[in-house]
Chain A
Amino acid sequence: QKEVEQDPGPLSVPEGAIVSLNCTYSNSAFQYFMWYRQYSRKGPELLMYTYSSGNKEDGRFTAQVDKSSKYISLFIRDSQPSDSATYLCAMSRTGANNLFFGTGTRLTVIP
């Protein structure tokens, strides 16, 4: 069983839709949860960071962590064509080092 599971998609939505991206994990020791965005032919860039359980909001993006269910989510409101990218979840016991990544979900927002 992989440490982190993520539906690879692809996911296509119309502009303005609410997007929900999800990951599940098996290691209860994970404390740090991140979402990265990766545009085609680019390196990943950190989008959201959450420590332990709870919600975090940043503009149109909301990250949720449910440690009891070992489940994390990223919501994108009012999605834009510029949001078209691959979204990677990542988690760790000890912070930004020794990250375990999901395989990524490819999202396309159609104008």
Chain B
Amino acid sequence: EAQVTQNPRYLITVTGKKLTVTCSQNMNHEYMSWYRQDPGLGLRQIYYSMNVEVTDKGDVPEGYKVSRKEKRNFPLILESPSPNQTSLYFCASSLRAGEETQYFGPGTRLLVL
């Protein structure tokens, strides 16, 4: 089944404790991205990747890192999480940048205490 998977789905952590949210797609997509979804603000793009080893900042990149060493994986790294990073995070992928269809993962709900 073609899909985008994220792990973990739910995570509670404390301020300053480094964490990684994994994202993987099995569709051989070149383009992958991370969004956060907050009430009243909607979905905002954090980082995106056009292909392996090519990443760039989205609209709200502060406090996040990403890497794209393999085509299928695009992990999101929070080096020192803070409470304002409490949010619902979505990974998405599409065949290429500019492709009309982005496939979203199921989401990761993060609470930073």
Contact = CB atoms under 8 A, between A and B. Distances in A.
Interface of A: 4, 6, 8, 32, 34, 41-46, 49, 88, 90, 94-99, 101-104
Interface residues of B, number: 27
Interface of B: 4, 31, 33, 39-45, 48, 50, 58, 90, 92, 94, 97-107
Contacts, number: 65
Contact of B94 (A32, A90, A97, A103): A97
Contact of A104 (B31, B42, B97): B42
Given A34-B100, A42-B107, A45-B104, A98 B58 contact: yes
Contact of A98 (B39, B48, B105): B48
A4 B100 CA distance: 19
A94 B90 CA distance: 20
Contacts of A32: 100
